[in-house]
Structure 1
Amino acid sequence: MSMIYRTTISDLGDSALDFIEDGMLILFKTGAPEDLAMFCVLHTENELTDTIEVGQTFSIGKNVAKITAVGDAVNTNLKELGHITLRFDGLVEAELPGCLHMEAIQLDKFEPGETITIIK
């Protein structure tokens, strides 16, 4: 097992957790456009060292889930912008190009300073 992505949550937009009950979060690297940042989980570092694939393990804070589907634009968008949509719905086919789908889990709250990782 090797870590292919790791970043630290730097801030939560005022409305970032509004969609947590629907199993959805939006990631964006610090510096997101202001009108979008309010809906995002903002993070600092942004180094993706390998390709994200189904079956890998995603974690945010204490939440851990297997990846079930990877949209066509996820790897590029995460690497270049630090921006993807996270869906904890268990879908095996990506709904949109920028969506990363994981097992359907109930998300526990997380805060700035905690990490986001993807393990191969």
Structure 2
Amino acid sequence: MSSVVYESSVTAVGSQVEPFLGHQVMILFGADSPPELHDISVLHRAEVAEDGPRPGDTIHIGGADLEVLAVGDVVRDNLLNLGHLDLKADGRTEPKLPGDVCVPKGDLPLPAAGQRFAITRRGAAAAGAGVGGGA
């Protein structure tokens, strides 16, 4: 059984997101982020914000399920405080930068407004309130 530790709805996709995807990078920010970040970001609004990703978790976005391989030291705080996440499909098991979330090498999906962005964790209850749910 998987628990949802973070879940949001995509509110907008910036005009520069697709070129970044060509470099296996997706940048997410909360919908209330400064306007100068909107062109490069997938904007989203959180509904569940119990925890950030950990290795072994699954990120669900744009119809894809991506295994988390590595997480930098500032990822949890950035996600919970700013809705910010740097998703990199580089296959690394150690993050290169403190804000990186590494997933297997490959193409990242282009999400659309209205789609779900979620992080699920197997086995353990979600941090805090123990929000249940599947992927």
How high is the TM-score relative to the length of structure 1? 0.92
Gaps of 5+ in 2: 122-135
- What SS is found at the alignment partner of 1:18? helix
Q: Deviations over 1:72-94 (max 9, x none)?
A: 00000000000121101111111
Which residue of the partner structure matches residue 54 of structure 2?
Answer: 53
Using the aligned pairs only, state the percent identity.
Answer: 31
Q: Deviations over 1:31-61 (max 9, x none)?
A: 2212221100000125421352101111112
Q: Deviations over 1:3-23 (max 9, x none)?
A: 111111000111122111211
1:1-120 paired onto structure 2 within 5 Å: 1-45=2-46, 47-120=48-121
* CA distance, structure 2, for counterparts of residue 51 and residue 19 of structure 1: 22
* CA distance, structure 1, for counterparts of residue 84 and residue 57 of structure 2: 19
* CA distance, structure 2, for counterparts of residue 99 and residue 19 of structure 1: 15
| Superposition CA RMSD, Å | 1.3
Moved over 6 A (4+): none
Larger-Rg structure:
2
How high is the TM-score relative to the length of structure 2? 0.83
Gaps of 5+ in 1: none
Count of residues in Structure 1 that have an aligned counterpart in Structure 2: 120
Amino acid at match of 1:115: R
